[in-house]
Structure 1
Amino acid sequence: MSLVTACESMQAQQMTSRQGKVVYGESNGELTDQGYARTYDIYTPKSYSPSRPMPLVLVFHGDEGSGRSISNVSQFNTLAEQKGFLVAYPDGIDQRWSLRKTSKRNIDDVSFVKNFINHLEQVRNIDSRRIYATGFSRGGILTQALTCQLSDRIAAFASVAGSLPRRLKQTCQPQMPVSMLMINGTNDQSVHYQGDEKTQKGALVSIPEAVNFWRDHNQCPAYTAKNVAFVAGNQSDAPAGSRARRDRSKVKTYSYSGCSGGSEVVQLAVVDGGHLWYGGTSSDKDVNEFNKDLGLDSTQTIWNFFERHSLPFV
Structure 2
Amino acid sequence: MKLNEGFLSSMHEAMALLRTGGVAQATEAIQRALQRKSESGVKESAPRDDAYEFVIPAFAKTKQATARRAAVEDVDVEDRGHFSTLSYANVAGRRQYRLYVPAGAASEPLPLIVMLHGCTQDADDFAAGTQMNALAERDRFLVAYPVQPQQANPSKCWNWFKPEDQQRESGEPSLIAGITREIISSHNVDPARVYIAGMSAGGAMAAIMIAEYPELYAAAGVHSGLPARCAHNLPSALAAMKGGKQPGARHAQRGAALPPKRPLIVFHGDADATVNVANATRLVKGFDLPPDADSASSRTNGTQRRCTVSRLKSIDNIDAELWTIHGAGHAWAGGNARGSYTDPTGPDASAEMLRFFLDHPKR
* CA distance in structure 2 between the aligned counterparts of 1:228 and 1:109, rounded to whole angstroms: 37
Assess if the C-alpha contact under 8 Å between 1:181 and 1:267 holds in 2: yes
* CA distance in structure 2 between the aligned counterparts of 1:48 and 1:184, rounded to whole angstroms: 33
* CA distance in structure 1 between the aligned counterparts of 2:315 and 2:221, rounded to whole angstroms: 17
Equivalence map 1:289-304=2 (5 Å)? 291-292=344-345, 294=346, 296-304=347-355
Q: What residue number does 2:280 align with?
A: 207
1:108 Cα deviation from its structure 2 partner: 1.6
Please give the root-mean-square deviation of Cα atoms over the aligned residues, in Å: 2.8
* CA distance in structure 1 between the aligned counterparts of 2:304 and 2:137, rounded to whole angstroms: 28
Mind listing any 5+ residue stretches in structure 1 that lack a counterpart? 1-10, 13-22, 195-205, 233-243
1:36 equivalent in alignment to 2:93: yes
State the one-letter code of the partner of 1:215: F
Q: What residue number does 1:226 align with?
A: 295
Assess if the C-alpha contact under 8 Å between 2:88 and 2:178 holds in 1: no
Assess if the C-alpha contact under 8 Å between 1:214 and 1:265 holds in 2: no
Assess if the C-alpha contact under 8 Å between 1:160 and 1:183 holds in 2: yes
* CA distance in structure 2 between the aligned counterparts of 1:248 and 1:38, rounded to whole angstroms: 37
Q: Which has the larger radius of gyration?
A: 2
Q: Percent identity?
A: 20
Q: What residue number does 1:170 align with?
A: 256
Assess if the C-alpha contact under 8 Å between 2:197 and 2:222 holds in 1: yes
State the one-letter code of the partner of 2:276: H
1:123 equivalent in alignment to 2:186: yes
Name which of 129, 136, 142 aligns with 1:73. Answer: 129
Name which of 254, 265, 271 aligns with 1:187. Answer: 271
State the one-letter code of the partner of 2:296: N
1:269 equivalent in alignment to 2:315: no
State the one-letter code of the partner of 2:282: E
With over 3 angstroms needed to count, the CA separation of the structure-2 counterparts of 1:169 and 1:158, relative to structure 1, is: farther
* CA distance in structure 2 between the aligned counterparts of 1:182 and 1:63, rounded to whole angstroms: 18
Assess if the C-alpha contact under 8 Å between 1:225 and 1:256 holds in 2: no
1:298 Cα deviation from its structure 2 partner: 0.9
1:207 Cα deviation from its structure 2 partner: 2.1
SS for the counterpart of 2:333 is coil
* CA distance in structure 1 between the aligned counterparts of 2:175 and 2:110, rounded to whole angstroms: 22
With over 3 angstroms needed to count, the CA separation of the structure-2 counterparts of 1:130 and 1:188, relative to structure 1, is: same
Tell me the matched-pair count. 252
State the one-letter code of the partner of 1:73: G
Assess if the C-alpha contact under 8 Å between 1:134 and 1:140 holds in 2: yes
